[in-house]
Amino acid sequence: MKYFSLNNNSPKVSFQEAVVFGLAPDRGLYFPESIIPLPDSFFQNIENLSHKEIAFEAIKQFVGDEIPETELKRIIADTLCFDFPCVPVEDNVYSLELFHGPTMAFKDVGARFMSRCLGYFNRNDDKKVTVLVATSGDTGGAVASGFLGVKGVEVIILYPSGKVSEIQERQLTTLGQNIKALEVDGVFDDCQDMVKKAFLDDTLKHKNLTSANSINIARWLPQMFYIFFAYQQLKKQNKPIILSCPSGNFGNICAGIMAKRLGLPIVHFVASTNANDTVPRFLEKGNYDPKPSIATISNAMDVGNPSNFIRIQELYHYDLNEFNKDFSSYSFTDKETEIAMKDIYTKTKYIAEPHGAVGYLGLKKEMKKQPNSVGVFLETAHPIKFLDTVEPLLGLKLPIPKQIESVLGKEKVSVKIGTYEELKAFLQ
């Protein structure tokens, strides 16, 4: 499989090159040259397949022969070492829980898959790759955990000082080995700007910098896996399925649309956002007008210019009429999100954290228009990761899961930086 740059100004590359480079030389995102739907028999028989078998079928055309089949199967098995339950919340409304992995957010899936691909590509040579990543919270922990101990890969995580929760900070600052944390005096956008600058900096070429955000195809494509798993669980209901993704950089929803291009029968997508409403405004007005990000209680989605939206545009052929057939996007305020969290808890005892609650709100809004459907929203993180919001709002005390307990006792190690020059000095 070849990948081309969505800026159309770079040579086509292999899967391996796309994973190692992260971004194309023209700064475009990589996109697969072809998408071949899976046979009908696969969907007819999906309830008899294991998660690993489903994942292998979904990803194999995108990897091609660049990773041998047995090796790819091992990478998948390693990636999917936890459950993805589709939990009923109300009549016809399900929560797809993506938080049962090591760092309790969906990003574990992509981070584990990508790290193992890079580990495979590095198996023979000692050419070190440096993964440089900015995080507003969850990416850092998932990347730290997913890449820990992977041969030939050094990981540097930039996070905004004082702007991530204590649990998130512990997850990315306590592992040691090949994982380094840089605590940036600034906000997430400052971290992101420094990372972008480093990628463009010719004097850092020798570091072989790559990204581990969802712009990297090896983080983005495996996110299709659990959309297939949701279908596997909901198929027997025999109703049109609506999928709502609480969206920040729009990686998950983009993976869902890819799954549909592979034949997965999802009738409608909802990209649910917090106050960062660039995409809802685009659908309404037809022009894409990104704004600086606004801080909200669903802070992993505080993104003003979602990086994967260009891939979604490609999937809809840059045509608003095509979007309107099966794609909606709605924005919700923090107040609405809090009310939803309380309502869900009071009525059903289900504990949703702020991101999941935004997904729930978008789903309910769309289901009003399509009442005979069954809906699923992604619960993208465990409530414990947002305990400062969840506990006072719902008036409860959450037990600490074992994955979290194991990092709480460890000592934080980070290096403070304030400027790009300091990042550069650290890298060199």
Ligand X SMILES: *Cc1c(COP(=O)(O)O)cnc(C)c1O
Q: In the complex, which residues of this chain contact ligand X (CB under 6 A)?
A: 105, 107, 138, 214, 246-252, 300-301, 355, 380-381
| 115 vs 214 by CB, closer to ligand X | 214
Question: How many whole angstroms separate alpha carbon 328 and alpha carbon 32?
Answer: 24
Q: How far is CA 163 from CA 65, 76, 96, 216, 277, in A?
A: 42, 33, 27, 25, 21
Token readout for 255 is: 């993976």
| Candidate list 60, 107, 180, 416, residue with the active-site label | 107
DSSP state of 207: G
Residue 178 vs 389, nearer CB to ligand X: 389
- The span from the CA of 109 to the CA of 142, in Å, is 8
Is residue 228 within 8 Å of residue 285, measured between CB atoms?
Answer: no
Give me 24's structure tokens. 């194309």
Shortest reach from residue 93's CB to ligand X, in Å = 18
Q: Which is nearer to ligand X, 232 or 252 (CB)?
A: 252
Nearest approach in angstroms of CB 320 to ligand X is 21
Catalytic annotation on 107?
A: yes
Whose Cβ is closer to ligand X: residue 155's or residue 300's? 300
- Pairwise CA distance, residues 19 & 422, whole Å: 27
Separation of alpha carbons 234 and 97, rounded Å: 14
Question: 402: how many CB neighbours lie within 10 A of its CB?
Answer: 7
Give the containing element (helix H, strand E) for 77.
Answer: helix 69-79
Specify the residue, 244 or 252, whose C-beta has the smaller distance to ligand X. Answer: 252
Cα–Cα distance measured from residue 187 to residue 302, given in angstroms and rounded to the nearest whole number: 11
Q: Shortest gap between Cβ of 333 and ligand X (angstroms)?
A: 17
Contact call for residues 319 and 313 (beta carbons, < 8 A): no
Residues 6+ apart with CB under 8 A from 206: none
Residue 391 beta carbon to ligand X: minimum distance, rounded to whole angstroms = 17
- CA nearest neighbour of 400 among 174, 167, 170, 173: 167
Tell me how far, at minimum, the Cβ of 214 lies from ligand X, in Å: 6
107 vs 180 by CB, closer to ligand X: 107
What is the smallest separation between the CB atom of 420 and ligand X, expressed in angstroms?
Answer: 24
- Compute the CA torsion angle 274, 276, 281, 282 (nearest 10 deg): -110
Which CB atom, from 7 or from 165, has the smaller least distance to ligand X?
Answer: 165
Q: Which helix (H) or strand (E) holds 94?
A: strand 93-97
Q: Provide DSSP, 143-205.
A: HHHHHTT-TTEEEEEEEETTSS-HHHHHHHHS--TTEEEEEESS-HHHHHHHHHHHHH-GGGG
> In terms of CB distance, is 223 or 232 closer to ligand X?
223
Nearest distance from residue 216's CB to ligand X, in Å?
12
Q: At closest approach, how far in Å is the CB of 380 from ligand X?
A: 3
Stretch (H or E) spanning 14: strand 13-14
CA-CA distance, 219 to 62, in Å (whole number)? 12
> Which residues does the annotation mark as catalytic?
107
